[in-house]
Amino acid sequence: MTPNKPETNVDDPARVAAFEARIAAGETIEPKDWMPERYRRQLVRMMSQHAHSEVVGMLPEGNWITRAPTLRRKMSLLAKVQDEAGHGLYIYCGTETLGVDRHELIQQLLNGTAKYSSIFNYPTLSWADIGAIGWLVDGAAIVNQTMLAKASYGPYARAMVRICKEENFHKRQGFEIMATLSAGTPAQKRMAQDALDRWWWPSLMMFGPHDTDSPNSDELLRWGVKRKSNDELRQRFINLTVAQAKAIDLTIPDPQLRFDEASQNWLIGPIDWDEFWRVVRGNGPCNQERLAARRQAHDDGEWVRIAAAAYAAKQARAESTSEAA
Ligand code: FAQ
């Protein structure tokens, strides 16, 4: 692999124009292709935040593996959490094609200077929360990532194709949990409604600030990394999810929710952006707990990294000995 080298990557206007013409023609940009330094940095920013989100996203659900109510639910949840780890790894690999070392990115996560999705800073208080995460959080991720599967950067787009397939299974298992609880005893139904009440608004925040307050969107849309804006994707998710909530007899916790005939959209009340920024800036209900758990997991895994490096060195020695023979 010959990743882009920032120091030689001078953004002269003719090259930028040729690059933008390729994007306009629908071409995919590959790791060895020339790209503006700003494009590279935007991708590293977005992809590393995405990879961190997948990895931190294992924590709220991982807490429930031992408490899943049946063996079938336990197996599904175990597989889902394992998938999220895999997604993080694909995307970290993708960032390495842009010339960054994943250890550097992981250090940024561990020292608290990197962002990851706000949604994973909320607590999972009941089993229904596992249903709500699969249905809403993976549901929102699918809406967002189906578009990213058409992103202009090849390695990221290709990772999204596989990830979306797995997220579909995640969403279904979550929706099934919610449907089962909603059709269960009154206490189970209350549990499902309570989970929807707590996860609805944070799920809408996953799509990021309104377009008017999104400093990165214009550039990302121009360069074909994003294909739809934050608000367009959020609206698509709302339209899909309102119908699904009705189908399982749950109520979206928004007294202002109404169907707009003219646009054929479900319109919502105001999102609490103060809450969003509080969580993004590290002051959500579980930010500290999540980072502490990640740091602990990283420390606990040190022996595995040492063993893997020793094994790789041993393999390399064996290969060089057999080549010499
Ligand atoms: N949380 O200018 P924009 C998943 C930040 S994966 C935290 O609009 P952009 C699977 C943003 O970084 C979930 N920060 O930014 C799963 C920027 O800060 P910066 C993750 C947020 O990049 C399920 C600032 O606000 N998915 O769920 C958030 O154009 C279950 C201004 O915002 C991805 O990462 C937020 N919600 O648009 C796993 C998808 N929103 O960097 C486990 C890829 C915004 O300038 C269990 N990412 N910010 O300091 C994207 O599509 C985009 O990056 C957006 C944000 C849409 C998230």
Amino acid at 236: R
Our answer on whether the CB atom of 146 is closer than 6 Å to any ligand 1 atom is no
Nearest CA to ligand 1 atom 45: 216
Nearest CA to ligand 1 atom 18: 115
The two tokens of residue 311 are 């094994």
Q: Shortest CA distance to 106 belongs to which of 60, 58, 59, 51? A: 51
Residue 118 Cα to ligand 1 middle (Å):
8
Nearest CA to ligand 1 atom 8: 214
Q: What pLDDT does 91 receive?
A: 97
Q: Shortest CA distance to 101 belongs to which of 51, 164, 159, 59? A: 51
pLDDT digits (tens, 9 = 90+) for 288-317: 999 999 999 999 999 999 999 999 999 999
CA dihedral 276, 253, 64, 184 (to 10 degrees): 180
Residue 273 Cα to ligand 1 middle (Å):
14
- Mark 214-247 as b/e (b = at least 16 C-beta within 10 Å): beebeebeebbbbbbbbbebbbbbbeebbebbee
The two tokens of residue 256 are 């202002």
Residue 83 Cα to ligand 1 middle (Å):
19
Distance CA 152, CA 239 (A): 27
- Alpha carbon 125 to chain centroid distance? 21
Atom of ligand 1 nearest to the CA of 61: 46
Residue 307 Cα to ligand 1 middle (Å):
34
Residue 49 Cα to ligand 1 middle (Å):
7
Helix axes 71-96, 102-110, angle to 10 degrees: 120
Amino acid at 156: Y
The two tokens of residue 45 are 């920013």
> What residue ranges of the chain have pLDDT lower than 70?
1-10
Identify the H or E element spanning 14.
Answer: helix 13-24
Using a 10 angstrom Cβ sphere, with 0-12 exposed, 13-18 middle and 19 or more buried, the burial of residue 103 is: exposed
Nearest CA to ligand 1 atom 43: 50
Q: Looking at residue 28, what DSSP letter applies? A: P
Residue 43 Cα to ligand 1 middle (Å):
12
Q: What pLDDT does 218 receive?
A: 97
Q: CB of 28 within 8 A of CB of 154?
A: yes
The two tokens of residue 213 are 């307050």
Q: What pLDDT does 1 receive?
A: 41
Atom of ligand 1 nearest to the CA of 217: 29
Our answer on whether the CB atom of 284 is closer than 6 Å to any ligand 1 atom is no
Our answer on whether the CB atom of 217 is closer than 6 Å to any ligand 1 atom is yes
CA atoms 220, 122, 174, 240: torsion sign: negative
Q: CB of 128 within 8 A of CB of 191?
A: yes
Residue 230 Cα to ligand 1 middle (Å):
10
